[in-house]
Amino acid sequence: MAAQNATHAQVATGPQSEPDGVRDREIGTEQQHLDRVYRRLEEKIHEAEFLMDDAAKRGQVGTPGALAERDAQVFRAGVHLNRLNSEFEDFLFGRIDLLLGKDGKKGPDGAYTSVEPADDAVLGDRADIAETLHIGRIGVLDADYSPLVIDWRAPAAAPFYRATPVAPGRVVRRRVIRSKGRRVLGVEDDLLRPELTATLGGSTLPVVGDGALMAALGQARSHTMRDIVSSIQAEQDMVIRAPAASVTEVEGGPGTGKTAVALHRAAYLLYQDRRRYAGGILVVSPTPLLVAYTEGVLPSLGEEGQVAIRAVGSLVDGAEADTYDEPAVARVKGSSRMLKVLRKAVRGVLEGPGGPERLRVVAFGARIELGAEDLKRIRNTALGGTAPVNLLRPRARRLILDALWSRAGGPKRYTDPELAAEARSAFDEDITTEDDFLAFLDAWWPELTPRQVLAGMADEKRLARASRRVLNPRETRLLARSLRRLDAAGRGPLSVHDVALLDELETLLGAPARPKKPREYDPLDHLTGLEELMPQRSESRRERAERLAQERRDYAHVIVDEAQDLTPMQWRMVGRRGRTATWTIVGDPAQSSWSDPDEAAAARDEALGARRRTRFRLTVNYRNPAEIADLAAKVLALAMPGMESPAAVRSTGVVPRFAVAGAALGPAVRAEAEHLLADVEGTVGVVVPMGRRAEARGWVAGLGDRVVVLGSLEAKGLEYDATIVVSPAEIADESPAGLRVLYVALTRATQRLTVLSGERDDPDADGVPDLLRD
């Protein structure tokens, strides 16, 4: 791990100090340990299988108590088995050799807890190794409760990540073990106290290899993210294990590991306080592509489904956004001004033309009528309530009945209150059972769905009434036009920004009634008496609204990745899902595709309110070689003058390639992609302006699934072995945030970068486009 805290002194390592045969011997030593661990795991699996078997037998007894016990046991044993099976591959990855600690106390995992060495741990320049710990994805205790493997999230594993040559604590040697299944393939050591001659069991402590981080960073990339448990760096570990304060904010440039750190933090929090986080951890990701890229990481860390990774366009149930609005429309839809527009739009639907203008009923043998003015007055009184509009319908119905009763002279007919009450209830019943009255109510105060209201906003005239003095006429026109994709019921392709509007509307409207699904018949029911324990009460609307609101608040922790991109309306949507949660927010203002980073920051402040914040900064770029990072820094200087770029941890000696295509982009992109496919083992990303996505897919058709075409906004968070950035000037011109979007595009490659100039780029004699020159 030569770059452990790259700013600190180098760690002494190196094959030069490695005599022949030492590596094989050390691999053999670790192999013996792994064999022991596997034997123990097999014992545990047998125990789990026995438990399940035994539990199934108990199930045959059939009493409710025995069944409940059976369920609990089967569940526990099932989880256990799943875990062991899924973690069976590659789960032991580290080892630390430690000096004697200051005190002799042991923690629950069987390891000594002291961080600092005892005063007499080192004599002159000699020391004995007092403790050896192996680190893995889950903890395994031997039959005598001594630790065979320490879970990477346990406190005893922290020194594996945190020790540096400047502050080594008790760690003398840190070893990363590469294993596959039951076989140890390699070991890489860092010596943290090179000045010492340390002995283990009487022999000198050997040192093998030259660090695991570089090996990990140089590996080819696939279409899914790998975990980094074996090489988490000290500054990253500080974030992963930070106490779950109300808000943990992490900033850092491209490639500093923000996404990796956020996901590993989720795994750490679950480990550290499973009960607290059983309420779920929500990870909000900017695009479905990034969700697909990161989804696999957590199960491999040994979790059991408490973590939901959702794209910001899929946070509302039933809505799946697959469209991007053009920047001017996105700016309107994302702005907090939309809140006012939506409020008025909801009212506008109720008041809008086409609704009934009068109500006629027959009561006491006479015809009674409420006219347009009466209905308007009643509607305004009803809307004076604070509840969501759909939940105000019963109130409006009652006000209508009151008005009819009074118009029919009801209050004057009866002096006896009891008689009056009886007559009133008969009057109400007569009217409300009439089909005409029900039809009137449905037309006059329809139960609205968020999608209907949104679709209604496609009518420019109607929208203009709702947006008066909030949006200007151009903004209103753009907004109305963009919503014409939807039919009257709101079906049709939704944009990412529409989803936040739907969520806001759902809050304004209250949840519409959903047809109740009949509960499936379960043959166990009559045995367990479950029906009695869980009576099927019918739920009132208010109860339902409260329940849904509750469900939304359910997340115990919310992680926001690429937080710089959330619009004010999206912050409101995400905020609703974490009202009582703790938060981890990671992002980089320099990569913001939102036109106004200050506005987004203000919206974040509003969503988080007065919660206490703890801030961290990540400073080392683990993705891009220095040659690519240096080029990207030129765009950063234009996009955000004065912003520092993170220090690249490695260099490949290969500078970015510049090619000029002019108008003939297709053949040039294809040729460059073919060239890069031959150069790298893994993936090639072709980043194009958003409007060129469809044609670009044609350019690379047939080159295989190692090549991926992405619109500039879709590249966020992803990475490829090699990247082709097509027409930088066109990407930069696409939106007011275009230079920052270009910065994102230029920082996706782990090995090779080709920049292809289009018609607008004005390349110099070397093919370097205007925007990337010194």
Segment lying near ligand ATP (by CB under 6 A), choices 249-257, 533-541, 568-576, 653-661 = 249-257
Nearest residue (CB) to ligand ATP, 260 versus 556:
260
- 257 in contact with ligand ATP (CB under 6 A): yes
Give me 338's structure tokens: 């939309």
How far is it, in rounded angstroms, from Cα 416 to Cα 431? 22
Between 728 and 767, how does the x/- string for binding to ligand ATP read (CB under 6 A)?
A: -------------------x--------------------
> The tokens 């090995």 sit on which residue?
751
| Shortest distance in whole angstroms from residue 3 CB to ligand ATP | 9
* Helix%, strand%, coil% for the chain, nearest 5: 45, 20, 35
- 564 in contact with ligand ATP (CB under 6 A): no
Sheet holding 147-151, edge to edge: 140-141, 147-151, 131-136, 92-98, 171-180, 183-191
432-471 residues in contact with ligand ATP (CB under 6 A) are none
- 184 in contact with ligand ATP (CB under 6 A): no
| Shortest distance in whole angstroms from residue 621 CB to ligand ATP | 8
Segment lying near ligand ATP (by CB under 6 A), choices 43-51, 150-158, 229-237, 450-458 = 229-237
386 assigned to a ligand binding site: no
Segment lying near ligand ATP (by CB under 6 A), choices 44-52, 225-233, 432-440, 486-494 = 225-233
The DSSP-derived string for 4-44 is TTTTSPPPB--GGG--TTHHHHHHHHHHHHHHHHHHHHHHH
- 632 in contact with ligand ATP (CB under 6 A): no
Nearest residue (CB) to ligand ATP, 467 versus 683:
683
Give me 709's structure tokens: 């075409």
Give me 440's structure tokens: 């009137």
Give me 114's structure tokens: 């002291």
Segment lying near ligand ATP (by CB under 6 A), choices 71-79, 193-201, 209-217, 440-448 = 209-217
Segment lying near ligand ATP (by CB under 6 A), choices 251-259, 335-343, 416-424, 436-444 = 251-259
From 31, 37, 73, select the one nearest 53 (Cα to Cα). 73
Residue 500, classified by CB atoms within 10 Å of its CB into exposed (0-12), middle (13-18) or buried (19+), is: buried
Residue 375 C-beta-side C-alpha neighbours within 13 Å: 18
- Selected binder of ligand ATP within 91, 268, 445, 622 (CB under 6 A): 622
- 216 in contact with ligand ATP (CB under 6 A): yes
Nearest residue (CB) to ligand ATP, 226 versus 343:
226
Nearest residue (CB) to ligand ATP, 231 versus 593:
231
The DSSP-derived string for 628-690 is HHHHHHHHHHHHSTTPPPPEES---S-PPEEEEEET-HHHHHHHHHHHHHHH-SS-EEEEE-G
- 312 in contact with ligand ATP (CB under 6 A): no
- 213 in contact with ligand ATP (CB under 6 A): yes
Q: How many residues bind ligand ATP (CB under 6 A)?
A: 24
How far is it, in rounded angstroms, from Cα 101 to Cα 540? 62
How far is it, in rounded angstroms, from Cα 680 to Cα 722? 7
- Selected binder of ligand ATP within 137, 162, 258, 333 (CB under 6 A): 258
- 252 in contact with ligand ATP (CB under 6 A): yes
Nearest residue (CB) to ligand ATP, 254 versus 334:
254
Nearest residue (CB) to ligand ATP, 281 versus 749:
749
Nearest residue (CB) to ligand ATP, 189 versus 504:
189
Helices (H) and strands (E) in the chain, counts: 29, 25
- Selected binder of ligand ATP within 256, 314, 390, 467 (CB under 6 A): 256
Kindly tell me the sign of the dihedral angle through the C-alpha atoms of 379, 382, 383, 387. Answer: negative
CB distance 702 to 731 below 8 Å: no
Nearest residue (CB) to ligand ATP, 216 versus 339:
216
Alpha helices by DSSP H, 336-384: 338-351, 372-383
From 622, 598, 565, 583, select the one nearest 215 (Cα to Cα). 622
Nearest residue (CB) to ligand ATP, 55 versus 722:
722
- 625 in contact with ligand ATP (CB under 6 A): no
Calculate helix-pair angle for 568-576, 327-334, nearest 10 degrees: 50
- Selected binder of ligand ATP within 5, 114, 179, 236 (CB under 6 A): 236
255 assigned to a ligand binding site: yes
Nearest residue (CB) to ligand ATP, 122 versus 232:
232
Q: At residue 170, what are phi and psi to the nearest 5 degrees? A: -90, -5
- Selected binder of ligand ATP within 109, 235, 498, 719 (CB under 6 A): 719
CB distance 204 to 198 below 8 Å: yes
From 545, 591, 755, select the one nearest 659 (Cα to Cα). 755
How far is it, in rounded angstroms, from Cα 451 to Cα 67? 44
- 286 in contact with ligand ATP (CB under 6 A): no
- Selected binder of ligand ATP within 233, 495, 584, 751 (CB under 6 A): 233
At 759 the three-state DSSP class reads coil
> The tokens 């109510």 sit on which residue?
441
- Selected binder of ligand ATP within 101, 147, 209, 255 (CB under 6 A): 255
> The tokens 């759909």 sit on which residue?
390
| Shortest distance in whole angstroms from residue 189 CB to ligand ATP | 16
- 217 in contact with ligand ATP (CB under 6 A): yes
- Which 8-state DSSP code applies to residue 683? -
| Shortest distance in whole angstroms from residue 151 CB to ligand ATP | 18
Between 577 and 606, how does the x/- string for binding to ligand ATP read (CB under 6 A)?
A: -----------x--x---------------
> The tokens 């927010």 sit on which residue?
585
SS3 string of 504-522? HHHHHHCCCCCCCCCCCCC
388 assigned to a ligand binding site: no
Nearest residue (CB) to ligand ATP, 301 versus 480:
301
- 30 in contact with ligand ATP (CB under 6 A): no
| Shortest distance in whole angstroms from residue 628 CB to ligand ATP | 12
Residue 26, classified by CB atoms within 10 Å of its CB into exposed (0-12), middle (13-18) or buried (19+), is: buried
101 assigned to a ligand binding site: no
| Shortest distance in whole angstroms from residue 574 CB to ligand ATP | 18
Nearest residue (CB) to ligand ATP, 99 versus 312:
312
Residue 88 C-beta-side C-alpha neighbours within 13 Å: 15
Kindly tell me the sign of the dihedral angle through the C-alpha atoms of 727, 729, 730, 735. Answer: positive
> The tokens 């002799």 sit on which residue?
104
How far is it, in rounded angstroms, from Cα 125 to Cα 193? 10
- 717 in contact with ligand ATP (CB under 6 A): yes
Residue list for the binding site: 252-259
Residue list for the binding site for ATP: 252-259
Site for ligand ATP, rule CB under 6 A: 213, 216-217, 226, 228, 231-233, 236, 252, 254-260, 588, 591, 622-623, 717, 719, 747
